[in-house]
Amino acid sequence: MPPPTGSALRRRKPAEPAQRGHVADDSPGVKARIDALSRRLRDAEKRAEEGATLRTENARLAAHLVMRGSDRPGLADPEVRDFLVERHAVAVAALGDKAPAFAAWFTAQLTKPSPLLAPYLALPEPVVVAPGAKTPPVPPRAPNPNAGASQDTPPGTRAYTDEEVAGMDDATWRQNRTAVEAQLVEAGKIRLLKKPATT
């Protein structure tokens, strides 16, 4: 068939969207599918963000545990430990995949600390006493006037009503069994055939 010429070209209509390979965006099924995929994408991004946050927090806590096991007095402050975690993060950013894990990095810093971290990682100075010198006497400690003030006195035995005993759940019964049985025996409401169990 010969190609169209002249007036045949002018009469030809432009192709419809469906003919061009496009899908009409106003169809309810397509919109629902796009919305569903958008929700799934947002949910996946949220889970990925939460997972990254959890991994970061777990790494920070693990680093704090490594440092808490150290004998260095400068690491007693949590802010100092956070600072060391930040310094490790800087080292990781600088070295990339070749960066050591926190425990290995921390051990290396203990053996040869950087000048910035040296004050925090210093060992306590040992007390040296001259061979012929006497150690200074330790001054006596003044008694603490608040000693024992924060400790509660143990509660006395509590009297349980019949309704309370009847309404106790298993955990409460197991916890208070001895006291309840002793109270009921004393009141003459029950008689135990064996010695009450201690809890």
Residue 141 structure tokens: 């400690």
- Note the pLDDT of residue 99: 83
Encode the chain (199 residues) as per-residue pLDDT tens digits.
566 665 555 655 555 555 555 555 567 788 888 989 999 999 999 998 888 888 888 877 888 787 777 777 778 788 888 888 888 888 888 988 888 888 888 888 888 888 888 888 887 777 666 676 676 677 777 776 666 655 554 555 678 887 888 888 888 888 888 888 888 888 887 877 766 566 5
DSSP letter (8 states) at residue 39 = H
